[in-house]
């Protein structure tokens, strides 16, 4: 990997659900810090702003406390926080080129004159969380002081004292032996601080992302999320490349994910320069299928209305944040360029994504739920991006979806056999569900789970 700026098959539905739950509950243990039980969401500086430190000529976009304050303000004031986007994450190039006299990392005094602790307070005052970046090596990928093995405890304590809520630990300028020691040591050191700090590991990305070099059971015991693969770039080719690697290796990756431990295909680039509106919907849908962390890397101050609508789509977010936490799979890769993805959700629901790799024109794809391994019965369907309830389908009913080039159709599917009283009718813990979300059986005759936001 270039160190210049590197940062970091098909079963019947019920059988697969049982299999996945068994895998998640028996073979993989999560990091015991109680954090990130659903994929974390927020904003991250790297892809959009990189290592721009020229605050003299580019004060609005350079890596400085002002940039992170601006993004915190936008998350807090523009409806992002309420949807779950709560992390404001610093990436590389924030620190001074030298540690202080006590051997501690310190922020660049010109670009972060208030220091990280003051910035953390600013973020916390807005009901948000602050993430920071370090690198397990002699230097960060951008050439700033790294965290060598002897500095792990010092840096963990420093981050805790500053009030940091998440750490991404990169892996530039380290070797396999140091990574094997260092990533578990940092997990232990963070937990020992007594402060809840989510832990993102870049370890897999530096060791090819696959067994035998990568032990995903161990990763689930020490990290909340991990980068498996290379960095995303602001291009459709980059999104396709990442997605294809994840799906080609889904049999290895899917069982590793679950509440508190997530595969991370990298940032959402929606709202930048490289994706069309259809491609932006596709990234959002595919990341939701993969139960991926949703970290936007864009400029929230200048975001288009189209990009905002995609990133703030409440139904997609609810699917991504499903508490069952089972990562989805690619079911079919057709010769005509259409691919079908599926993810099981709580309350016997599921989501389907029909994705087109075609570049010519909208394609009409015809199939049945039975062909997609749904069991016998009738199903209610909600089109996530149209925001519409679709006609009820039996498992044998043929249906056709029209998929735009590089686009998706995304459905939330609920089996009618589980139709029953809602929690508020049972006197359960969601008595205000229908009132809060203005849902009625006439508007949305689907058994949405309580976490499903419309």
Residue closest to 131 by CA, chosen among 122, 120, 139: 120
| 78 and 98 Cβ atoms separated by less than 8 Å | no
Per-residue burial over 350-383, b = 16 or more CB atoms within 10 Å of its CB, e = otherwise: bbbbbbbbbeeeebebebebeebbbeeeebbbbe
Contact 24, 326 (CB under 8 A): yes
Q: Give the tokens for residue 399.
A: 């249906």
| Residue carrying structure tokens 């500053």 | 162
Clarify whether 322 is annotated catalytic.
no
> In angstroms, rounded to a whole number, what is the distance separating the alpha carbons of residues 208 and 432?
48
Catalytic annotation, pick one of 231, 264, 299, 322: 231
Question: What is the β-pairing status of strands 87-89 and 129-135?
Answer: parallel
Exposure string over 324-344, b if 16+ CB within 10 A, otherwise e:
bbbbbbbbeeeeebbbbbbbb
Catalytic member of 135, 170, 264, 266: 170
Phi, psi of 200 (to 5 degrees): -110, 120
For residues 266 and 395, is the Cβ–Cβ distance under 8 A? no
User: Is the torsion defined by CA of 19, 385, 274, 62 positive or negative?
Assistant: negative
Which residues are catalytic, by number?
170, 231
């Amino acid at each position: 990997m270039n160190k210049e700026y590197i940062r970091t098959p098909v079963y019947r539905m019920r059988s697969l659900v049982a299999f996945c739950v068994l895998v998640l509950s028996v073979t993989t243990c999560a990091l015991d810090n109680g954090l990130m039980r659903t994929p974390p969401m927020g904003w991250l500086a790297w892809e959009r702003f990189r290592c721009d430190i020229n605050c003299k000529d580019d004060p609005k976009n350079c890596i400085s406390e002002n940039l992170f304050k601006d993004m915190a303000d936008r998350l807090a004031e523009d409806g992002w926080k309420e949807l779950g986007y709560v992390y404001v994450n610093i990436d590389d190039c924030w620190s001074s080129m030298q540690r202080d006299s006590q051997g501690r990392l310190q922020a660049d005094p010109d670009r972060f004159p208030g220091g990280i602790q003051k910035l953390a307070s600013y973020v916390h005052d807005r009901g948000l969380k602050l993430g920071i970046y370090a690198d397990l090596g002699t230097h960060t990928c951008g050439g700033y002081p790294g965290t060598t093995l002897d500095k792990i405890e010092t840096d963990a304590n420093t981050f805790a004292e500053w009030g940091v809520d998440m750490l991404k630990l990169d892996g530039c300028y380290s070797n396999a032996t140091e990574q094997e020691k260092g990533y578990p040591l940092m997990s232990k050191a963070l937990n020992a601080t007594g402060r809840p700090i989510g832990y993102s590991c870049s370890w897999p990305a530096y060791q090819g992302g696959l067994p035998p070099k990568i032990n995903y059971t161990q990763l689930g015991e020490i990290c909340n999320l991990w980068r498996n693969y290379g960095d995303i770039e602001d291009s459709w080719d980059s999104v396709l490349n990442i997605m294809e690697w994840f799906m080609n290796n889904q049999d290895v990756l899917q069982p590793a994910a679950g509440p508190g431990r997530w595969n991370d295909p990298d940032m959402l680039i929606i709202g930048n320069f490289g994706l069309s509106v259809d491609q932006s919907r596709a990234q959002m849908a595919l990341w939701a299928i993969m139960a991926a962390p949703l970290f936007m890397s864009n400029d929230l101050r200048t975001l288009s209305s189209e990009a905002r609508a995609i990133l703030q789509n409440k139904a997609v977010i609810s699917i991504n944040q499903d508490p069952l936490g089972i990562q989805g799979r690619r079911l079919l890769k057709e010769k005509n360029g259409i691919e079908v993805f599926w993810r099981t959700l709580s309350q016997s629901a599921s989501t389907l994504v029909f994705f087109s790799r075609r570049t010519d024109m909208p394609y009409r794809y015809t199939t049945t739920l039975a062909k997609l391994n749904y069991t016998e019965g009738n199903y209610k369907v909600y089109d996530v991006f149209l925001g519409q309830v679709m006609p009820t389908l039996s498992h044998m009913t043929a249906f056709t979806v029209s998929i735009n080039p590089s686009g998706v159709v995304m459905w939330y599917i609920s089996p009618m056999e589980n139709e029953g009283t809602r929690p508020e009718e049972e006197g359960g813990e969601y008595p205000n569900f229908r009132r809060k979300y203005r849902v009625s059986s006439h508007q949305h005759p689907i058994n949405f789970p309580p976490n499903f936001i419309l």
